[in-house]
Amino acid sequence: MRINRKEAWQSFLLVAPSVALIAVFVYGFIGWTARVSLSEWKGLLPDYTWAGFSNFAELLADPRFMIDVRNTVLFTVFFVGGSLALGLGLAICLDQGLRGEGIFRAIYLFPMALSFIVTGVVWRWLMNPAMGSRLSGLNLLFHNLGLDFLINEWHTTPFWGIIAIALPAVWQMSGFCVAMYLAGLRAIPDELIESARVDGASEFQVYSTIVLPILRPVTFSSMIILGHMSLKVFDLIMAVGGKQIPLDVPAMYMWQVTFEGLFYGKGAAIGLLLLLSVAVLIIPYIIYTLRGETEL
């Protein structure tokens, strides 16, 4: 839409408060973090002695940080992918206008209402990896249902353990994806779908060629929301898996070096690397999405 000078000013004024707050609380703080990451600050008191990029160099040579990067990638893929798939599937089912929709919606959202501190513990119990006579949690349930082939070591599985941690995260957040997709589905005019059906499109075609493309912005929003959670995931892993290296993630490492070890410079460097990697991955995607948007 073409806008004139006055409208441009008015619209800018509407976003100005948010922009000002974000400028200080996000970019100001990023600047502070960047400064700390280039300092030697270690210990309780601030020490801004210039350290150059030594904190970063140390991290890039750090085997623990390498494990963190790998874990973050695996976790993000399974958490975001799982939540989106489950969210879309259940939203489509809910959108059929069946009786009891409200109850299902509330049930699906309920995990989000529960605090991570406690649900993490429940999942630790559920995913208990003990075998033999000490079988418990989901493994015990599988055993009693005769599904012994499903019994596994969950998050203590070597190498792939981090994927098991994605399960509680999917449990917690997929309900929100259901809500997002449901809102998106409900915004699609009925006539659009009806006319496609009249034209003889199969249900599958209706969804794949009409509904999904319309839902693309919803998927995009959900991916960003879930993605930012997965990069910061920390209390969930701490509660389910405890602080152990095979399940380590950058946010946990950052927490430990900053608040337990008081290596503020190093902690800030981890935070900044996290942000930079996000920037490299996300900003091109955002720009691509914005460009691809045709104005309706």
Question: Which of positions 14-33 make contact with other proteins (CB under 8 A)?
Answer: 14-15, 17-19, 21-22, 24-30, 32-33
What is the SS3 assignment for 127-155?
Answer: CCCCCHHHCCHHHHHHHHCCCHHHCCCHH
Provide, rounded to whole angstroms, the least separation between the CB of residue 50 and other proteins: 19
Measured from the CB atom, the residue of 50 and 189 that comes closer to other proteins is 189
Q: Pick from 207, 173, 174: which is nearest to 193 by CA?
A: 207
* Residue among 69, 74, 141, 151 that touches other proteins (CB under 8 A): 141
Stretch that binds other proteins, among 49-57, 75-83, 271-279 (CB under 8 A): 271-279
Element (H, E) at 113: helix 101-113
Q: Are 289 and 220 in contact (CB under 8 A)?
A: yes
Q: Is 119 in the site for other proteins (CB under 8 A)?
A: yes
Tokens of 156: 């203590």
Q: Is 288 in the site for other proteins (CB under 8 A)?
A: no
Element (H, E) at 265: helix 264-292
Residues 203-262 that bind other proteins (CB under 8 A): 203, 214, 217-218, 220-221, 224-225, 228, 231-232, 234-235, 238, 240-248, 251, 254-262
Q: What's at 72, amino acid-wise?
A: T
Residues 154-173 that bind other proteins (CB under 8 A): 154-156, 168, 171
* Residue among 54, 69, 81, 124 that touches other proteins (CB under 8 A): 124
Q: Is 267 in the site for other proteins (CB under 8 A)?
A: yes
Measured from the CB atom, the residue of 52 and 197 that comes closer to other proteins is 197
Rounded CA gap, 200 and 206, in Å? 10
Rounded CA gap, 108 and 90, in Å? 9
Residues 40-99 that bind other proteins (CB under 8 A): 42-46, 63-64, 67, 86, 89-90, 93-98
Q: What's at 155, amino acid-wise?
A: H
Rounded CA gap, 176 and 195, in Å? 30
Counting Cα atoms < 13 Å in the Cβ hemisphere of 290 gives 6
* Residue among 60, 114, 150, 212 that touches other proteins (CB under 8 A): 114
